[in-house]
C-alpha cells in the first residue's frame, strides 16, 4: 500500500510537470500565432503598396516592366538614401555589384550620376567595414 501511495504521488508529481510544460507550449503556440498574424498583416500591406506602385508606374508613367538589375540597384539606392547601411561586408559587396551592373547597362533608366554616387557610397562603406574588422582583429591580437 505504501509503494502504491508513493507511485501515486510520483505519478501526480510527473503529471503536474507535464501540465506545466503543456501550459508553456500553449503560451508559446499563442505567441507564434500572434506573430504569424502580424507577418500576414504586414505582407498584405506590402502587397497593397506593391500593387499601387505597379499601377502608378504603368498608368501614370507608362512603365510596364523593370529589369531585375534596375530593381536591385534601386533597392540599394533606396537604402543608401535612407541611411539603412549594412554591417556585413558580403552584403555591401553584393550592393556594389548591383550598382555596377546597372551602371554598365546602357538601357538602365537610373541616372548615371546617381549610380556613380551610390557606387562611391558603397565603396566607402566597404572600406569602413574593412577598417573596423582590422581594428577589431588588432585589438584581439594584443
Q: Residue 104 has what pLDDT? A: 96
- Closest by CA position to 99, among listed 125, 83, 124, 120: 120
Four-CA torsion 98, 103, 104, 109, nearest 10 degrees: 110
pLDDT one digit per residue (tens) for the chain, 142 residues: 899 999 999 999 999 999 999 999 999 999 999 999 999 999 999 999 999 999 999 999 998 889 999 999 999 999 999 999 999 999 999 999 999 999 999 999 999 999 999 999 999 999 999 999 888 888 776 5
Q: How many helices (H) and strands (E) does the chain have?
A: 4, 0
Q: Residue 142 has what pLDDT? A: 59
Q: Is the pTM of this model over 0.95?
A: no
C-alpha cell at position 11: 505519478
CA distances from 117 to 79, 122, 126 (A): 13, 9, 14
Amino acid at each position: 500500500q505504501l509503494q502504491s501511495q508513493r507511485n501515486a504521488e510520483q505519478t501526480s508529481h510527473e503529471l503536474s510537470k507535464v501540465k506545466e510544460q503543456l501550459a508553456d507550449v500553449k503560451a508559446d503556440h499563442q505567441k507564434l500565432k500572434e506573430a504569424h498574424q502580424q507577418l500576414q498583416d504586414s505582407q498584405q500591406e506590402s502587397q497593397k503598396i506593391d500593387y499601387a506602385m505597379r499601377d502608378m508606374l504603368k498608368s501614370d508613367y507608362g512603365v510596364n516592366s523593370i529589369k531585375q538589375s534596375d530593381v536591385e540597384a534601386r533597392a540599394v539606392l533606396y537604402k543608401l538614401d535612407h541611411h539603412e547601411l549594412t554591417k556585413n561586408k558580403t552584403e555591401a559587396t553584393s550592393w556594389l555589384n548591383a550598382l555596377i551592373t546597372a551602371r554598365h547597362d546602357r538601357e538602365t533608366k537610373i541616372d548615371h550620376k546617381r549610380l556613380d554616387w551610390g557606387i562611391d557610397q558603397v565603396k566607402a562603406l566597404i572600406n569602413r567595414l574593412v577598417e573596423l574588422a582590422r581594428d577589431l582583429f588588432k585589438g584581439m591580437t594584443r
